[in-house]
Structure 1
Amino acid sequence: MENAPHLRTVNVTRYLTPLREGGSLPALAEADDEFKYVLKFKGAGHGTKALIAELLGGEIARTLGLPVPELVFANLDEAFGRTEADEEIQDLLQFSQGLNLALHYLSGAINFDPVVTAVDAKTASQIVWLDAYITNVDRTFRNTNMLIWHKELWLIDHGASFYFHHSFSDPVGHAKSAFALIKDHVLLPQASLLEETDAEYKAILTPEKIRGIVNLIPDEWLQWEELEKSPEEIRDVYTTFLMTRLENSSIFVKQANDARKALI
């Protein structure tokens, strides 16, 4: 596929410190390219499904021109972590051998505070549209999952998106559903340009681009014991979900607009 998206692969060389804000125990780590990364482990919490959501959400955001840290595949060697003193972390590292996902560490970034930083209507509408599209439940006042870095707003943590995949039943039905939880979105009050954003983003997200992003998911993350589908069949389900949801975007745009009117 021409201009197919591509992620670099790095080898984790040093575990620096756990980042205990997240329930899945992400960590700050260093890789063989000498950069620092926020490392998300396939052996944690929701396993590879959280990594898939992080990968798809982050790369869709990037395709739409939104600022997200570089995502890389992060390889953990089987010997990694044997000297870790904390048993919980040692177990996590052992269960996460192979390919994990990492985000470039934005050194010096601070958490976004909606009271301190104003967000314009266009940016707010773009982020609300993205989160309604990927069914991201986690961009609220309680946990904004946005950072300010070099005076710019950056999006992080999309691992709670695509919640249909925890049951993997009726993806088309889920794709055509509204997204009621958008009412809790931290930027919803400012998102007054959702129709304009919808038209713009539907033009960008072509079927080829959606397939290219979904094809990034490694086979290693698609060995699901609870589902008798091949990795390619699972990718097809994600592609169908994303294309169907895009075709029916008026449903979640209306839900977001109605929720916004109720707020203001």
Structure 2
Amino acid sequence: MKKNIFFLLLLLSIFSCKQNLEESSPLDTSKIIKLPKLENIHTYIQLPKSEDRICRNGIKWAKKDIEKGELVFSMPSGEGDYDLRQEKYIRILCKKHNLIFRFEMIDDAPVEEGMQGCYGAYMDNMIAKKFNSNFKQNLLNEADIMLSKSNDTIRSWDCDIKPKIEGLTSENSIHILLDAKFKKQLAKDKIYYGAGIDIRFYIDKKGKHSGYHLDDYNRLEKNNREKYKVQFVKAGIDQLKKYQKCSAGEIKGQKVITKQTIRTYFN
């Protein structure tokens, strides 16, 4: 009988502890912001969550700018790279339509949780009301067409179709076999050359490349590297010139002038 009472008390104790544990540490859902998908941001800004200070502040700043008479053509910009290939022509077109072009910084790792890009989304809605829902994309397309018809130099990775150099096993690197005598001298001076160098050049609308110059030499070891700088660069350019057949980069179906960087490895 005593054993049964003890067992019953043990079960009640375990149940009570479990219940107290659940009651003392509930999931505080009030601190969690479930962020909408990026494509829904224009809907989300109509009623952002009260906890979402990032989005609410973005909307607040947008409203202040509008009150000052600034209707902003905003584009997101991440850390490290702030370029927009048609930025030059977007600025021209924005001026024509009395708009201000501005980048909105989007952090890769925001300090607090919330929806970024609400400033731009609010401005997009205001632009759509003033013009039409397709206005922003149409302006970007128009700027792209202006760019494609120009003689501006475009970075190869900004093209719709990247330029190609036929014969390369990789689109952005070449390998050069050094002669034994040169390698022996490099070993004597303790120069590690495997990391290679970067050579920049240009490919015109006809697919011809020219204008070779050293882009980055810091991949080689510092010790005595200046002593062999000319030899390394000459070897890289001489090898690159062997690949004469190229195709130009394209934007909106138009061939454009591009600048290209090739990593040159020495073996």
Please, what TM-score do these two structures have when normalized by structure 2?
Answer: 0.25
Rg bigger for which structure?
2
Please, what TM-score do these two structures have when normalized by structure 1?
Answer: 0.25
